[in-house]
């Protein structure tokens, strides 16, 4: 089974959908136990919200973040019960918390509470300092960085997610982001589109959220990782508890360097990966980064079966 040490990739906000995890919980008792544990830890029916909606409630940042982590951990539990042991891990923004659970640095319970609090803090920061985010497709990083510098004359705007070649997400004050979108269109971007988010994530406008998150992280026991986790903020592996805490503190204010993180893993660990949790966003990004990589997506019983198939096909 060539997949059994594949690098684990964990999705972030935007991969949620009503119905997520329901089939998994119905098929696997160990997955059902994870969903029940999440409900108990948070004190409300998060699993029911994930399984049944309503969609507008699930999309609220404070619900989305723990729901995605919960689903990812349910999938991981099912895979590990069948012999899977990741050689390394990475997670996109919120997904980095899932990666640290997979690496033994955070307990599932602590990670749930942290991302629930993180979602609340991010929403509150967005209310206090309204901002926006926009995806820019078709321009390379240096051109986008120059656009941000030029647009900053009217408002803060920075690259927030460097996802894949020609795909960068900007974040900042509304005026800055809108000016950057205008400049990007004028300079040849294929697509510029505002994202439906409640704040300027991964930008200086998240300063109050980062301060609150830092306080929450100080109250949590973080252990050294048993496998390398490539951090968003540095695009390099972290393993010690101090490195992990610092990385998570800085993450809200800095860019998610996803393309660089994937290139490090491809060069230093391997080319077989599995997207653990809802959606296929990370698999799609990898197609643009390196088509030689083989990425499975596992979110439901069919995905589990395909991943565990003797021929090891990563569909």
Q: Which of 47, 72, 93, 297 is catalytic?
A: 93
Residue 155: C-alpha distances to residues 14, 131, 152, 185 (Å): 26, 10, 5, 18
What is the torsion angle, in degrees rounded to the nearest 10, for the CA atoms of residue 242, residue 247, residue 253 and residue 258? 180
Give the integer Cα–Cα distance in Å for 252 and 233: 9
What is the torsion angle, in degrees rounded to the nearest 10, for the CA atoms of residue 78, residue 2, residue 283 and residue 27? -20
Query: Two tokens at 82?
Result: 């069948």
Q: Which residues contact 154 (CB under 8 A, 6 or more apart)?
A: 175, 176, 179
Across the beta sheet with 7-10, the strand order is: 237-238, 229-230, 89-91, 7-10, 272-276, 294-298
Q: Which of 164, 202, 234, 297 is catalytic?
A: 202
Alpha helices in the chain (DSSP H): 22-27, 29-42, 46-52, 55-58, 61-81, 95-102, 108-128, 141-151, 174-186, 207-218, 241-251, 258-268, 281-289, 301-308
Confirm whether 98 is a catalytic residue.
no
Tokens 């800055």 locate to: 176
Confirm whether 15 is a catalytic residue.
no
Residues serving a catalytic function are: 93, 202
């Amino acid at each position: 089974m060539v997949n059994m040490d594949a690098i684990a990739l964990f999705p972030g906000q935007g991969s949620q959908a009503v119905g997520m995890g329901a089939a998994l919980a119905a098929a696997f008792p160990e997955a059902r136990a994870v969903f029940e544990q999440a409900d108990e830890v948070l004190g409300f029916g998060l699993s029911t919200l994930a399984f049944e909606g309503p969609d507008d409630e699930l999309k609220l940042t404070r619900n989305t973040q723990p729901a995605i982590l919960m689903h990812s951990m349910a999938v991981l539990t099912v895979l590990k019960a069948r012999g899977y042991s990741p050689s390394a891990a990475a997670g996109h923004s919120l997904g980095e918390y899932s990666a640290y659970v997979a690496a033994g640095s955070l307990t599932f319970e602590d990670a749930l509470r942290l991302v629930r609090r993180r979602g609340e803090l991010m929403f509150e920061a967005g209310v206090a300092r309204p901002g926006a985010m926009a995806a820019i497709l078709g321009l390379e990083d240096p051109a986008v960085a120059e656009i941000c510098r030029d647009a900053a004359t009217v408002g803060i705007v920075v690259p927030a997610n460097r996802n894949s070649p020609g795909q960068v997400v900007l974040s900042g004050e509304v005026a800055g982001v809108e000016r950057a979108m205008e400049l990007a269109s004028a300079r040849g971007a294929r697509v510029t589109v505002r994202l439906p988010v409640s704040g300027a994530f991964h930008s200086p406008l998240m300063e109050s959220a980062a301060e609150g998150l830092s306080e929450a992280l100080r109250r949590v026991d973080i252990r050294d990782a048993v496998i390398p986790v490539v951090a968003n903020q540095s695009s390099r592996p972290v393993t010690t508890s101090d490195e992990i805490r610092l990385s998570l503190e800085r993450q809200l204010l800095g860019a998610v360097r996803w393309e660089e993180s994937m290139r490090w893993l491809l060069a230093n660990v391997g080319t077989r990966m599995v997207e653990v949790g809802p959606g296929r966003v990370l698999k799609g990004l990898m197609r643009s980064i390196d088509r030689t990589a083989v990425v499975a997506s596992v979110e439901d019983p069919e995905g589990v079966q395909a991943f565990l198939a003797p021929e090891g096909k990563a569909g």
